[in-house]
Amino acid sequence: MDRDCCLRVFACEQNLLSRPDGSASFLQGDTSVLAGIYGPAEVKVSKEIFDKATLEVILKPKIGLPAVQEKNQEQIIRNTCEAVVLATLHPRTSITIVLQVVSDAGSLLACCLNAACMGLLDAGLPMKSLFCGVTCALDSERGIILDPTDKQEKESRALLTFAIDSLEKKVLMITSRGSYSIEELQQCIATSQKAADKLFQFYRDSVSRKYSKS
């Protein structure tokens, strides 16, 4: 099949920052996000939750101050992480995920999700399963484009981003723009699940490589 069913080059560097408890930089093509994670750390009294950890996500844009869109994405990422992080194991603490956009060339939210997951892995925080982010663009002529670039995103009719968990390949989060049919949605989900397999294999290889000397 001659479709755009191809993930761009992806790369990841773990534990690259000395100060945070866990850090990872995730690159998908020319899109790149850096994640720094602190936790389980001290929590402000006002944000303390007595039976679980307070999960906080900060997304920093590269240019200017965070706007509504960043706040919205922060919330999306936070909810996704909350679904997999076992926050009850560390009550009255804080888990802070700081994401810095390094370059945006399409599929930014998916890259943020992947960076967050690799960062959480590096910090060694307890999780029920892994998760990954996959973006699908729907083009009027070519159907589904996996992991689109910013140009493809602009040309697309609809754009869907999924977070998929590793345990049963279930969908943890969907966010979309544009219009699409139910069939297309299901096709996108099926495609993302297949892409997720590749990403999870990549996660596993990265972690194996990190532990190859111990």
Partner 1 sequence: MREPPLSNCEKSFLLKAIQEGKRLDGRETYDYRNVKISFGTDYGCCIVELGKTRVLGQVSCELVPPKINRPTEGIIFFNLELSPMASPAFELGRQSELLVKLNRLLERCLRNSKCIDTESLCVIAGEKVWQVRVDLHLLNHEGNIIDAASIAAIVALSHFRRHDVSIQGNEVTVYTPEEREPVPLSIHHMPICVSFAFFQQGTYLLVDPSEREERVLDGLLVIAMNKHREICTIQSSGGIMLLKEQVLRCSKIAGVKVTEITELIQKALENDKNVRKEGGKCGFVESMPKQWITAFKVEKALVDMSDVEEKAEEILSRAETPAEMASKPVLWAPGTAQIGEGLESSWRDMEEEGEVEDEDDEGGIDDPTLAVSQNIDMEDIPRKQEKNSDDVIILSDSEEDEVIILEPEESRKNTRSKHYAVPSAKKATGGKKKKKKFTL
Partner 2 sequence: MQIVHVLGLSVYIMLQMAVRAEQRVGQPVLPGDVLLMPLQEGEQEEEENSALLALRVPSQTRLRMTCGPGLRQRGGSVLVTRSGILCHRIPVLYWVDSQQKRYVPVKGDHVIGIVTAKSGDVFKVDVGGSEQASLSYLAFEGATKRNRPNVQVGDLVYGQFVVANKDMEPELVCIDSCGRAVGMGVFGHEGLLFKVSLGLVRKLLAPQGEIIQELGKIYPFEIVIGMNGRIWVKAKTTQQTLIVANILEACEHMTAEQRKQVFAKFSDNMM
Query: Residue 194 interacts with partner 1 (CB under 8 A)?
Result: yes
Which of 129, 187 has the CB closer to partner 2?
129
Contact in structure between 90 and 55 (CB atoms under 8 Å): no
d(CA 71, CA 149): 22
**How far is residue 47 CA from its own chain's centroid?**
24
Single residue of 32, 73, 135, 149 touching partner 1 by CB under 8 A: 32
Q: Is 105 in the site for partner 1 (CB under 8 A)?
A: yes
Q: Which one of residues 79, 96, 129, 175 is an interface residue with partner 2 (CB under 8 A)?
A: 129
Q: Looking at beta carbons only, is 62 or 177 nearer to partner 1?
A: 62
- CA gap 186, 118 in Å, rounded: 27
Least distance from C-beta 142 to partner 2, angstroms?
25
- Answer yes or no whether residue 140 interacts with partner 1 by CB under 8 A: no
- Strands 171-178 and 158-165 turn out to be antiparallel
Rounded Cα gap, residues 145 and 32, in angstroms: 19
Is residue 70 within 8 A of residue 59, CB to CB? The reply is yes
Q: Which does 90 bind (CB under 5 to 8 A by kind): partner 2, partner 1, none?
A: partner 2
From 117, 125, 132, 144, residue interacting with partner 1 (rule: CB under 8 A): 144
Tally of residues, the chain: 214
Contact residues: partner 2, CB under 8 A: 15, 21-22, 38-43, 84, 86, 89-94, 121-130, 165-169, 203-204, 207-208, 210-211, 213-214
